[in-house]
């Protein structure tokens, strides 16, 4: 399986790292490590996480209130959003409509 990030998901990641580092130095790097671990789990078991729509699955992070929303297409895993769990879900839903 090959991992790919949509550009908005890359922005989500950068914004989250920056925000968390502003809250506490080094916290953003801990977040990045947690995302990397979640990506590894998704890659190993892509169908394990709950479907939240016809095309997207949600993998929650363990240590942070964020989730990875992703779409499986053949041998590709497309990360659609790195999403704070308290944000408006319309954000990732709009991205899904563009797939």
Q: Would you kindly state where each structural domain of the chain is located, as residue ranges? A: 2-97
Give this prediction's pTM.
0.92
β pairing state of 56-60 and 66-73:
antiparallel
- At the topology level of CATH, where does 2-97 sit? YaeB-like fold (3.30.2310)
pLDDT in tens, 10-63: 999 999 999 999 999 999 999 999 999 999 999 999 999 999 999 999 999 999
B/e letters for 35-57, b = 16+ CB within 10 Å, e = fewer, are beebbeebeeebeebeeeeebbb
Residue 62: DSSP 8-state:
S
Rounded to whole angstroms, how far apart are CA atoms 43 and 46?
A: 6
pLDDT in tens, 50-96: 999 999 999 999 999 999 999 999 999 999 999 999 988 888 888 87
- Looking at residue 99, its pLDDT comes to 79
């Amino acid at each position: 399986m090959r991992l790919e990030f949509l550009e908005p998901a890359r922005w989500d990641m950068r914004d989250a790292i920056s925000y968390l580092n502003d809250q506490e130095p080094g916290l953003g790097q801990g977040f990045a490590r947690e995302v990397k671990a979640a990506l590894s789990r998704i890659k190993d078991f892509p169908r394990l996480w709950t479907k939240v729509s016809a095309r997207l699955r949600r993998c929650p992070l363990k240590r942070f209130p964020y989730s990875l929303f992703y779409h499986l297409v053949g041998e590709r895993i497309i990360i659609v959003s790195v999403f704070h769990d308290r944000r408006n879900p319309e954000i990732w839903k709009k991205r899904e409509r563009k797939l």
